[in-house]
Amino acid sequence: MLSLSTLSILLVLLLLHPPQLSAQDVQIRLAGEGRRNANEGRVEVFYNGAWGTVCDDEVDIKLSNVLCRQLGFQRSFTWAHSAKFGQGQGPIWLDNVHCQGSEASVAQCQFSGWGINDCTHAEDLGVICSPERRPGFPPATLEEAPSSSGQQPRQQRQRNQPSAPAQPAAQANIPSYSARGHEIALHRSTSSSRRGGVSPRENGHEIQISRRNRGGSTPSQQANPALPQGHQLPSRLVNSDAYRQRLETARRRPQTERQEPDVQVDREPQPQPPAQIHSERRSNTHQQLSGNHVEPDPVFPDADLENDAQYTQGSGRINLEEVRIQPVLSSNRGGLVTEGVLQVKHAGKWRHVCDQGWDLRNSRVVCGMLGFPAAEPFDQNAYRKLWNSKLADPSSRLRTQISKKAYWVEKVQCQGVEVSLAQCPAQLSLPRSDVPCRGGMHAVVRCVPGYQFARNGRAPAPPPVTPVVRLKAGPRLGEGRVEVMKEGKWGTVCDHLWDLNAASVVCRELGFGSAKEALIGAQLGQGTGPIHMNSVQCTGREKSIMDCVYKPVPLYTCKHTQDVAVRCNVPDSGIQTSVRLVGGRDRGEGRVEVLIEVGGTMRWGSVCSENFGLNEAMVVCRQLGLGFASRAHEETWFWQGSPDAREVVLSGTHCVGTEMSIQQCRKNGHVYCPRGGDGRAAGVTCVETAPDLVVDAQLVQETAYLEDRPLHLLTCANEENCLSSSAARMNWPYGHRRLLRFSSRIMNMGMADFRPRATRESWVWHQCHRHYHSIEVFTHYDLLTLNGTKVAEGHKASFCLEDTYCPDGIHKRYACYNWGQQGISVGCWDTYRHDIDCQWVDITDVRPGEYIFQVEVNPTMDMTESDFQNNVMRCRCKYDGARVYLFRCHAADAYSAEEEDLFDHQRQLSNNNL
């Protein structure tokens, strides 16, 4: 009996704690939405025959490094919590994972057990890895994220995957499908011959679900983009009438007309005729059908006219991947190439475009792709003269090249509103034409640069008219959340019906080209204040987004979680080549070296670190296209500089923050750097995402009041310098001070957690209040006259930076109790109540009158943010000696310049006069 009970216990333990899989058995991948590169995404683990996610509890850089190395990357940049890359599905396999950092697989780390967790998919973990690959791992692509078992043999890699059914012989000539999911097709069962072997109970449609081949397909079996991806509905089911009409046309058209013999692009095995495919598939179907039956889609040439990768000669569109213009007669305009001969890339090769039928509408599309808002006419006679002279030259290669059909793209027909030439009908060569581009020459394009690019490398010019749209919190030039001006106030746009047409109108209005992406769901951070527009519908021809059709936003019908954003095409001005980061561990950090003119020659050199702050570092990171600056370094002895750039060539740098390059910032005429260069030269660290702190103006306005507080209750506050200087001359502990008290709530509306720079070991202990200060000065409280003179001030140290409140679905990560980590999570608030010490302004010595009350968070800009302009909150203040009244509280960047000027000088109250 003892042995049986022992065996039972062992069996139960084995069931509860199954043996961990080896590194070769555990596969991981990166997935999710909003991914910019293949080295970032939501972490998914394959276990027990199913893909699942990882919870973000107790995650650190060690776990992130193990995951990235297992995926084949060199190291991890950081991790992303709270389902930044979207919520996954299925089980949550791992929770509370603790790694030493040297493990070869996440399965070797300690964790709660497979599938044991207390999380939801709102806490799915993501990672951002370095782009460099480890030796022996194949290059990573965004379409198919690398698997951890990428180096294993195929048979071993398929051990934990569901085996795909054998492909019927009849489908040997049909391209295999590398996409995930199932292919679904519906066919009406009208033929009695097909019902011969079918159960009498069958009626309606025949439905068959075929699992896609996820094994290794042969090189000749290419994925057909015309077929549905995953569970996407086939295009013929979306518009069945148009599909049936195209299908009948394809059946009647001779095979020789559907495919010309001289097409040299996108060659694939020729699909079988539709009837033959149907007959072979049906003859190889041996299973008994019952109910509804779905068969795979037939593959027809030219059956889906929306497929950009399969166009043949004479079809409506071809896949034009890129465009460029080669300057021939014009010089660069401030480093910009704005005029030249157009070249397009198709199937990996650059081709010329025939100018027969080319007009300004086509040029506008090309200019939009190159980052320019508009196109203009050019001197065609000069280009025609040059063209004829080259044709007359016997040694010119042009005479032989233009006779080749592979040299040309013809009959490009754009409406001018497209965001890419790929959306315009075009032909590689005209059918039944022996001479390509007969009587024509190569197309020429002349673009008009935006106002910020038209000053030959100098600081951007102001916009010609007062802007009614702006981009906020974008990591790069031409990116950001869209905000529009209405009735003197800035507000956001709701994402219903938001598309590339509307996004392109915004981009062109701001002086950029067409839109690369139209982002929804506050992907670049949430805004504050009103939401002005919803259901925006533009044709693409509008001069301003205010000219588009849109609907007003009723109260509470749209949230800031639905704010829209854009990524615009930006011209290549070459400014990124005049600055570099040297010596860092990755491309996002290092000593700053700039290319600048010294004594009439261009030289590389370092930057003096004196007065080099976060604003200057932000300009450098944006100039390099590396996002935001997380830190400006005053000492860089740990980063080795370039031998040819040891001399300091730039000092006294002062940037506003809107400059496009560090060379455009204000600087000393003669270099003066007492600190010296080399190890004391300036350096930066750049990051992809940043927090964004905003003060809740409404709460300040609603909670302000006066209190006469006895001095004996202000001893600790006086030690922390929370009272005005006249308090030191009072007869302590007798008397009182008049305090303007209020509550403040600071929200993190950015895309990364806000963390104090100092680690816990560096926090300062205050004995009187018996707490630590993680940031010595976190906020400034000031009372100003209407002309800006400061009459009273206060400050607040951050003794407890924590997630006081988080909306549903967001997990609180920071708490001050038990010497916990301090910070503010994305989407959460940190609240300082009115009844705690130093949450006031001492106005004992202030006379009655009208003032401006101002709260500024992160005033010294020690910690990075995506937007510093909304850190200030301002209110009008009326003080009559016994009462105080705050009104018109708003963020400093919430009003137009005219409204802000009116705010500063309007003396009367709009209501509730005191």
pLDDT at 861: 86
Q: Which tops the pLDDT comparison, 692 or 321?
A: 692
Q: Find residue 885's DSSP bridge partners.
A: 878
Q: What are the tens digits of pLDDT across the range 41-70? A: 999 999 888 999 999 888 888 999 999 999
Q: Quick one: which H or E segment has residue 12?
A: helix 2-16
Q: Which tops the pLDDT comparison, 472 or 719?
A: 472
| Least reliable range by pLDDT among 109-118, 186-195, 719-728, 864-873 | 186-195
Percent of the chain residues past pLDDT 70, beyond the cut: 74
pLDDT at 330: 67
Within 8 A by CB and 6+ apart from 316, the residues are 305, 425
Q: What are the tens digits of pLDDT across the range 747-786? A: 999 999 999 888 888 887 777 767 777 787 888 999 999 8
DSSP 228: P
| Least reliable range by pLDDT among 64-68, 118-122, 522-526 | 118-122
| Least reliable range by pLDDT among 135-144, 236-245, 581-590 | 236-245
Amino acid at 717: A
pLDDT at 460: 62
Q: Quick one: which H or E segment has residue 251?
A: helix 240-252
In whole angstroms, give the CA distance from residue 471 to residue 488.
Answer: 17
Written in H, E and C, the secondary structure of 500-530 is HHHHHHHHHHCCCCCEEEEECCCCCCCCCCC
Percent of the chain residues past pLDDT 90, beyond the cut: 42
Residue 7 above 80 pLDDT?
no
Q: Find residue 886's DSSP bridge partners.
A: 877
pLDDT at 8: 58
The closest alpha carbon to 187, from 297, 107, 304, 67, belongs to 297
> What mean pLDDT value characterizes the chain?
78
Task: Give start and end residues of each alpha helix (H) in 602-662.
Answer: 614-623
pLDDT at 457: 54
Please indicate, yes or no, whether the overall pTM of this predicted structure exceeds 0.85. no
CB-based contact 108:87 (threshold 8 Å): no
State the helix-helix crossing angle for 500-509 and 360-369, rounded to 10 degrees. Answer: 80
Residue 807 above 50 pLDDT?
yes
pLDDT at 793: 85
CB-based contact 620:575 (threshold 8 Å): no
pLDDT at 150: 38
In whole angstroms, give the CA distance from residue 341 to residue 378.
Answer: 11
Q: Which tops the pLDDT comparison, 493 or 611?
A: 493
Q: Taking the CB of residue 492, how many other CB atoms lie within 10 A of it? A: 26
What is the average per-residue pLDDT within 122-145?
A: 84
Q: Quick one: which H or E segment has residue 493?
A: strand 489-493
CB-based contact 448:375 (threshold 8 Å): yes
pLDDT at 493: 96
Residue 899 — very low, low, confident or very high, per pLDDT cuts 50/70/90?
confident
Q: What are the tens digits of pLDDT across the range 78-101? A: 888 888 889 999 999 999 899 998
What is the average per-residue pLDDT within 366-385?
A: 92
Kindly tell me the burial class for residue 434, based on how many C-beta atoms sit within 10 Å of its own C-beta (0-12, 13-18, 19 or more): exposed
Residue 196 — very low, low, confident or very high, per pLDDT cuts 50/70/90?
very low
What SS3 class is residue 562? helix
Q: Quick one: which H or E segment has residue 796?
A: strand 790-798
In whole angstroms, give the CA distance from residue 134 to residue 136.
Answer: 6
Amino acid at 104: A
> Both tokens of residue 644?
């040819």
Q: Which tops the pLDDT comparison, 438 or 497?
A: 497
Residue 608 above 80 pLDDT?
yes
What is the average per-residue pLDDT within 772-801?
A: 83
Residue 816 above 70 pLDDT?
yes
Q: Are strands 683-687 and 628-633 parallel, antiparallel or unpaired?
A: antiparallel
What is the average per-residue pLDDT within 357-362?
A: 93
C-alpha pair distances (Å), 166 with each of 153, 163, 177: 20, 9, 13
Q: Find residue 766's DSSP bridge partners.
A: 771
pLDDT at 136: 87
> Both tokens of residue 66?
């193990």
Residue 151 above 90 pLDDT?
no
- Per DSSP, the residues of 280-299 read HHHHT--SPP-S-B--PPP-
Q: Taking the CB of residue 247, how many other CB atoms lie within 10 A of it? A: 15
Residue 856 above 90 pLDDT?
yes
Cis amide prior to 733 (ω within 30 degrees): yes
Q: What are the tens digits of pLDDT across the range 622-678? A: 999 999 999 999 999 889 889 888 899 999 999 988 888 999 999 888 888 887 778
- Per DSSP, the residues of 19-79 read PPPPTTT-EEEEE-SS--STTEEEEEEEETTEEEEEB-TT--HHHHHHHHHHTTBS-EEEE
In whole angstroms, give the CA distance from residue 144 to residue 141.
Answer: 6
> Both tokens of residue 398?
């042009």
In whole angstroms, give the CA distance from residue 713 to residue 736.
Answer: 9
Q: Are strands 515-519 and 182-188 parallel, antiparallel or unpaired?
A: unpaired
State the helix-helix crossing angle for 274-283 and 240-252, rounded to 10 degrees. Answer: 100
DSSP 136: T
Residue 826 — very low, low, confident or very high, per pLDDT cuts 50/70/90?
very high
Task: Please list the helix, strand and coil fractions of the chain in percent, rounded to the nearest 5, in that order.
Answer: 20, 25, 55
Amino acid at 727: A
Q: What are the tens digits of pLDDT across the range 457-506? A: 555 666 667 889 999 999 999 999 999 999 989 999 999 999 999 999 99
Highest mean pLDDT among 266-280, 315-329, 569-583: 569-583
In whole angstroms, give the CA distance from residue 590 to residue 686.
Answer: 9
In whole angstroms, give the CA distance from residue 92 to residue 115.
Answer: 6
Q: What are the tens digits of pLDDT across the range 525-558? A: 999 889 999 999 999 999 999 999 999 998 878 9
pLDDT at 892: 87
Residue 148 above 60 pLDDT?
no
CB-based contact 615:656 (threshold 8 Å): yes
Residue 24 above 90 pLDDT?
no
The closest alpha carbon to 506, from 444, 466, 554, 564, belongs to 564
C-alpha pair distances (Å), 452 with each of 204, 448, 513, 869: 62, 12, 12, 20
C-alpha pair distances (Å), 189 with each of 13, 203, 208, 244, 289: 55, 8, 13, 15, 12
C-alpha pair distances (Å), 751 with each of 228, 407, 871: 33, 46, 16
The closest alpha carbon to 412, from 400, 421, 403, belongs to 421
In whole angstroms, give the CA distance from residue 160 to residue 27.
Answer: 9
Strand ranges inside 599-687, DSSP E: 601-607, 628-633, 648-650, 683-687
